[in-house]
Chains A and B, each alone.
Chain A
Amino acid sequence: MGEFRSRIAFSLLIATLVAVATISMVVDRRARLTGGSLLPGWSRYVLDAAVPLQKMVTLPFDGARDAWNRYLALVGVADQNEALRAQLAALREDNLQLREALVASGRLERISEMREDFEVPMRPAELVGVDVSPWFRSVLLDRGQTDGVLSGMPVISEDGLVGLVTATSGGAAKTMTVLDRQSAVDATVQRSRSRGIVRGRGSDGIVFEFVARGADVVSGDLVITSGLGGVYPKGLRIGRVTAVSDPGAKLVQTATLEPAVDFGRLEQVFVILRRGPTMELLYVAEDGDAAPARPGS
């Protein structure tokens, strides 16, 4: 009798856990679609606790990497330095010419007036851990709601687009990178203005999908955010075209991109404290979410 009871209790436990997991998936999916992806209370504590733990564990790895970068990987630094000096000189020259051109056309003053619109508040954040599941490509940041970081805010680095904040707690933010298979970014080719979608392919990097007819995409083209999806600001670098597939009879053609951001060396990122219009609409009714930061706030 005792064994029978134990078996019933065990079966009930399993059924309950399976039901909780299934319901959680449905609720989370629905929340992601409708914008309310604020984490439940208990999970916010877990996420907050994960940040210092991750930092502590990452510390020796960071030390080893720094040692490698500083002392062992110095081969070629002199050449690189020389090349960078040359590049800097060229850029200075370009900068001067552009300034002259702007002053000459009287646009500098107008740009100065418009500056407020262009200035977007950003919050620097440190990457403390990557996805613990090898099948997804998220990263964990050490800034959360207390720093004004909210779900739906874009994340960038000095090299280009990193991804989108998908969930936050008080002191942590989970960010889906553009490498994730669930990621899709409305993009355009800087040179030809051909539009398409950049999709994540996990370890295979990212691909640019575009309508084959009339599109002008060649190897070496820079692909940037179009701003039309209402999620990311316009003009952020996503990657450079490395190969264009043969369209054959297909309507949609794909191009392989080399991401602008080196995700293997990513340490410091910036969260843009302003959501795109689509994200604003999605997350506006998010329960408990503070109002998104505005420029100047």
Chain B
Amino acid sequence: MKRVFGLLGLGAVALTLQGAVATFIPPRFCPDLGFLLVVALGLCWRSPVGGVCVAAAIGFATDLLSGSLLGQHALLRLAAYATARLGSRHLNLRGPLPQAVFVAALTAANAVALALLTSFFSPGSGAGIVAVRELLPQALANAVFAPLVAFATERAVARLGDEDGGQRLLPLASRGRVA
């Protein structure tokens, strides 16, 4: 429970920081810290229940502080967490480069899914078109910051009492185990 609340606090800090930083940096060059935190949790935290709860909470908070529909980011954060968790089991995502590539691909998939959802609920809004010049810088920014956020999250998880937190990246190490 302590870890869940601690990570929720970390999520709040990430969203607040992003809301402030985005007033100075063009949004497309600003890393999506909430998204990166959720992906990092999928990569390094072995508790799926806690991970899912934190991912959903960060998603709902993002929806509140964003122009999206309530639940839109929550759904996508859950999907991102699940993908990251699966990825950490079946792919070798140790090291900054694999993490950066993985996050860039996930950012693109997330953007397309978001655009499709927005188009579905707001037909004719033009939101279905994910502009490449918005997507590319965003994927790049996320990729650059992904290893940093993953490292920080891993440390936070370990510090909050999960002694195995840093071992989660080992493929197959925790298959079938539910904390």
Secondary structure of the B contact surface, majority rule: helix
Does A99 touch B at the CB level, under 8 Å? no
A50 CA to B34 CA, complexed, in Å: 15
The number of inter-chain residue pairs (CB within 8 angstroms) is: 171
For A128-146 the 0/1 string (1 means CB < 8 A from B) is 1111111111101000000
20 A-B residue pairs with Cβ-Cβ distance under 8 Å, sorted by A, are A13-B49, A13-B52, A17-B74, A18-B78, A25-B69, A29-B121, A43-B60, A57-B17, A57-B19, A58-B23, A65-B24, A131-B22, A132-B65, A135-B68, A135-B111, A166-B67, A174-B64, A181-B125, A182-B125, A202-B134
Does B126 touch A at the CB level, under 8 Å? yes
Complex: chain B residue closest to A53, CB-CB: B16
Give every chain B residue within 8 A of A6 (Cβ-Cβ).
178
Does A201 touch B at the CB level, under 8 Å? yes
For A143-177 the 0/1 string (1 means CB < 8 A from B) is 00000000000000000000000100000001010
Does B7 touch A at the CB level, under 8 Å? no
| Chain A 177-227 residues near chain B, CB threshold 8 A | 180-182, 184, 199, 201-204
Does A86 touch B at the CB level, under 8 Å? no
Give every chain B residue within 8 A of A39 (Cβ-Cβ).
64
Q: Name the distance in Å between B163's Cβ and chain A's nearest Cβ.
A: 20
From A21, A27, A137, A264, B67 is in contact (CB under 8 Å) with A137
Give every chain A residue within 8 A of B72 (Cβ-Cβ).
21, 25
Does B56 touch A at the CB level, under 8 Å? yes
Given A61-B20, A203-B133, 17 more A-B residue pairs with CB atoms under 8 Å apart are A3-B176, A24-B60, A25-B72, A25-B121, A43-B60, A43-B70, A50-B19, A53-B16, A57-B17, A132-B34, A133-B73, A134-B32, A135-B115, A135-B118, A137-B67, A182-B67, A201-B126
For B69-112 the 0/1 string (1 means CB < 8 A from A) is 11111110010000000000000000000000000000000010
Q: Name the distance in Å between A259's Cβ and chain B's nearest Cβ.
A: 14
| Chain A 241-287 residues near chain B, CB threshold 8 A | 264
The reply to whether A57 and B178 contact each other, CB–CB distance below 8 Å, is: no
The reply to whether B48 and A21 contact each other, CB–CB distance below 8 Å, is: no
The reply to whether B52 and A134 contact each other, CB–CB distance below 8 Å, is: no
The reply to whether B118 and A181 contact each other, CB–CB distance below 8 Å, is: yes
A16 CA to B171 CA, complexed, in Å: 28
Does B170 touch A at the CB level, under 8 Å? no
Secondary structure of the A contact surface, majority rule: helix
Q: Name the distance in Å between A31's Cβ and chain B's nearest Cβ.
A: 9
CB-CB under 8 A for A181 and B64, given A21-B74, A29-B121, A137-B27: no
Give every chain B residue within 8 A of A134 (Cβ-Cβ).
22, 27-28, 30, 32, 134, 138
Complex: chain B residue closest to A27, CB-CB: B70
Does A289 touch B at the CB level, under 8 Å? no
Does B174 touch A at the CB level, under 8 Å? no
CB-CB under 8 A for A140 and B65, given A58-B23, A130-B19: yes
A204 CA to B28 CA, complexed, in Å: 11
Q: Name the distance in Å between B19's Cβ and chain A's nearest Cβ.
A: 3
Give every chain A residue within 8 A of B75 (Cβ-Cβ).
18, 21-22, 25
Give every chain B residue within 8 A of A182 (Cβ-Cβ).
67, 118, 122, 125, 127
Give every chain A residue within 8 A of B22 (Cβ-Cβ).
129-132, 134
CB-CB under 8 A for A136 and B74, given A130-B23, A202-B131: no
CB-CB under 8 A for A131 and B66, given A18-B78, A22-B71, A28-B71: yes
Give every chain A residue within 8 A of B78 (Cβ-Cβ).
14, 17-18, 21
Give every chain B residue within 8 A of A166 (Cβ-Cβ).
67
For B116-153 the 0/1 string (1 means CB < 8 A from A) is 01100110011100110110001000000000000000
Give every chain B residue within 8 A of A20 (Cβ-Cβ).
56, 71, 74
Give every chain B residue within 8 A of A123 (Cβ-Cβ).
none
Task: Find the residue from B32, B70, B111, B178 having the highest chain A CB count within 10 A.
Answer: B70
The reply to whether A24 and B67 contact each other, CB–CB distance below 8 Å, is: no
A50 CA to B63 CA, complexed, in Å: 13
Give every chain A residue within 8 A of B167 (Cβ-Cβ).
none
A53 CA to B13 CA, complexed, in Å: 9
From A22, A65, A131, B65 is in contact (CB under 8 Å) with A131
Task: Find the residue from B59, B63, B67, B75 having the highest chain A CB count within 10 A.
Answer: B67
Does B161 touch A at the CB level, under 8 Å? no
The reply to whether A21 and B56 contact each other, CB–CB distance below 8 Å, is: yes
Complex: chain A residue closest to B124, CB-CB: A184
